[in-house]
Amino acid sequence: MDGHIDKLTIAGQSIRHDSALAHCTGDAKFVDDIPEVPGTLHAALVLSEVARGKLLALHTDKARAMPGVVAILDPKDIPGHNDVSPTHRGGEPLFVETDILHFGQALAMVVATTRDAALLAARAVTADVEVLTPILSVAESLAANDLLMDPMVMVNGDPDAALAASPLRLSGEFSCGGQEHFYLEGQICLAVPGEDGDFALYSSTQHPTEVQHITGGVLGCDYNRLSVHVRRLGGGFGGKESNASWVAAVAALGAYHTGKPVKFRMPRKTDMAVTGKRHPFLFRWDVGFDESGRIHAVDALMAADGGHTLDLSTGVLFRAVTHAMNVMAVPNLRVDGRVLRTNTVSNTAFRGFGGPQGVVLSEEIIRHVAKHLGRSPEAVRERNFAGEANGTLTPYGQKLEGDLIRRVWDETKDLSNWESRRAAVDAFNAAHTWKKRGLGSFVLAFGISFGVQAMNQAGALVHVYADGSIRLNHGGTEMGQGLFIKIAQVVAETFGVPLARVRITATSTAEVPNTSPTAASTGTDLNGWAARIAALAVKERMIKVAAEQWGVEPDDIEMSDDEVRSGNHRMRFSELAKLCLAKRVQLSAAGHYKTPGLSWDPKAMRGEPFFYFTYGASVAEVEIDTLTGEYRCLGAWLVEDCGRSLNPAVDLGQIEGAFVQGMGWLTTEELFWDKQGRLRTLGPSTYKIPGSRDVPEVFEVRLLEGAPARADTIFRSKAVGEPPLMLATCVWNALIDAAGVASMDIPATPERVLMAMSAHK
């Protein structure tokens, strides 16, 4: 199946985001902008104030008597299953029955005539709780061996023997923290009851099908009674993959009991308290190497903080383990991946999905080996690049393209003027006592596909109307990343019509069922192919009509520039559509696509789980105030492999945004729980996401030109959503370089930088 077209007329152009003007003017409609019909009710949660305990009793009388309160619902009011877990192992209740497992866990819900009334009544509900001591750290849970799943261990070669035989050996330990998604639009759902037990759910979700499934399980009804609609999200970043499902279930449960539309929108502090984060990790590693910098063996433990239930931790750990060595070929390796239980929110998907935690392990090892040998991290990394000299296979047996690894790195060095910049940084440091500069780099190979094979599929629906206009629907969700405009470009290109002819419509389970989440950087890959397959089916029928009309062969028909042509024959696309209608030809088709060639043996940890790899490299320069630990990122230079980009303008925006978001995780965004297990970073006053002044002063991004691309990706493009986030790892490396230390836990906050420098002195 070839997605390539020799002459691209729409795909590959820098066409603006379909909602750009609407976003800027405020005309873009989100769930909270849907007009409320008379009688619409509002929901709020009753939350636990302890992190661990036994629920003895819930007192609701005072709340029930408050003005505007319509209903208070708890576990006994759930007609189906009190389980909102996205995994088959279950165990995540919508409302606590007995065991309280984290601060902010939902005990019940209030439905009232106004949102303020619901929030006030929810605070008036009190609980009798037997308070227990929470487990809050990965290290403590690891010591107790409290696992949420069986260990995931990837072994290649003989790491024990290779470590014992290595001329040189080092070991170490470090950690990385979690990250709050901080989407601008918070979690929200409007549930509208219809006839005969039907419900329409207007949800801010990355996974409409899971919203349908989880809500169906809670209500105890068939999925065909629930239609989920998503026009756009105000940001998701993985936080609206599994978490949005239980949010929708809350709204639907309220609508089920009251027979009225119910909107559930959480305040920012509540949203941050009750939704999952990026997984924090604890790393312990042992490396064997020689004087040339060649790494012979690595034995590593990657312990993830899963929170109180499993959620999507299996997939996160899979990607962390498979990306642990990143671009390096290490002949002898053991990576022991574990997910630990703690009394915090259940951690979940976040842009990169374990990849960011995986790649920092190899960077930490590279840095220590380099420091021990008195060499640069860049020299050690290059010495171990996957390629002909060191082997091309990942530890699990999939091929890496060593030439592309070296190419993105070489182009980034050129873009950043690496050699002269390194000399300038060294000269600056020699001349300054209280200011120090650092230079850091990073190279990435990121696998594209869902780790669960069944999720690598998508559906789309294409209609051509009698006037030649086209309606497009697919299973992907638009959350600002430009997915809708890219898929519309694919359909317009397929029919050879202007983009304006293609009408983009809201994602809906009523139109395209059984879809995968818009996640794992697969949105365009999967939905683009599904839409193209549907469009090609309609196009083939239309071409047959034109061929019969003109008495020519179908292969002689060309569709482009809003026309249909063959020799001296031509007609407008709209004229052909009208002719097809007169000939009683179906102008609608559903397309389905499944990613080919994937394989994975979870027991052996072997196979080819990724459709392809995308490559990138980055360099950053920072400056530290040694008296305070404060710092600035003076510049960043990035090269990203997007294959043949469908939309360079959109892709450049994604790369820039992902890099800054990655900087946030690595430098400023710190989650803090007190000793009682209460999350204290519950808003922008205590939780620092990057601002405009945190963006690198010099920020140069380049798409890899003439990148070799597979013929079986959509129009030979490559994914861009997640990989650039990991390119921000160069900033972490630059801060460590400037501080003159070998290691620093993540996030490298100014306080942590200052403490590291003080300890080093």
Write out the catalytic residue numbers: 722
Closest listed residue to residue 238, CA positions, set 352, 152, 338, 139: 352
Give the whole-angstrom CA distance, residue 519 versus residue 244.
14
Residues 611/448, Cβ–Cβ less than 8 Å: yes
Number of CB atoms found within 10 A of residue 20's CB: 15
Q: DSSP assignment, residue 288?
A: E
- Indicate the pairing of strand 281-289 with strand 262-265: unpaired
Both tokens assigned to 463: 């209609």
Give the whole-angstrom CA distance, residue 525 versus residue 528.
6
Helix (H) or strand (E) holding 151: none
Both tokens assigned to 642: 């997007």
Alpha helices, DSSP H, located in 173-222 = 208-219
Residues 573/466, Cβ–Cβ less than 8 Å: no
Residues 307/396, Cβ–Cβ less than 8 Å: no
Task: For Cα atoms 392, 397, 403, give the angle at the middle one, nearest 5 degrees.
Answer: 20
The answer to whether the bond into 747 is cis (omega within 30° of 0) is: yes
- Indicate the pairing of strand 612-625 with strand 631-640: antiparallel
- Collapsing DSSP states into helix, strand and coil, what is residue 92? coil
Give the whole-angstrom CA distance, residue 735 versus residue 753.
8
- 3-state helix, strand and coil shares in percent for the chain, rounded to the nearest 5: 35, 25, 40
At 38, which amino acid appears?
Answer: P
Q: What is the 3-state secondary structure (H, E, C) of 5-74?
A: CCCCCCCCCCCCCCCHHHHHHCCCCCHHHCCCCCCCEEEEEEECCCCCEEEEEEECHHHHCCCCEEEEEC
- Indicate the pairing of strand 457-464 with strand 558-560: unpaired
Q: What is the 3-state secondary structure (H, E, C) of 571-616?
A: EEHHHHHHHHHHCCCCCEEEEEEECCCCEEECCCCEEECCCEEEEE
Residues 312/349, Cβ–Cβ less than 8 Å: yes
Closest listed residue to residue 85, CA positions, set 306, 236, 304: 306
**Across-strand partners of 471?**
463, 503
Buried b (16+ CB within 10 A) or exposed e, 179-214: bbbbbebbbbbbbbbeeeeebbbbbbbbbbbbbbbb
Helix (H) or strand (E) holding 227: strand 226-230
- Burial class for 545, CB neighbours closer than 10 Å (0-12, 13-18, 19+): buried
**Across-strand partners of 154?**
335
Q: Dihedral through CA 662, CA 673, CA 45, CA 509, nearest 10?
A: 30
First to last CA, the chain: 60
Helix (H) or strand (E) holding 545: helix 523-550
Q: Alpha carbon of 360 to those of 321, 431, 748: distances in Å? A: 11, 31, 13
Q: DSSP assignment, residue 279?
A: P
- Collapsing DSSP states into helix, strand and coil, what is residue 508? strand
Q: Alpha carbon of 490 to those of 9, 614, 690: distances in Å? A: 10, 21, 34
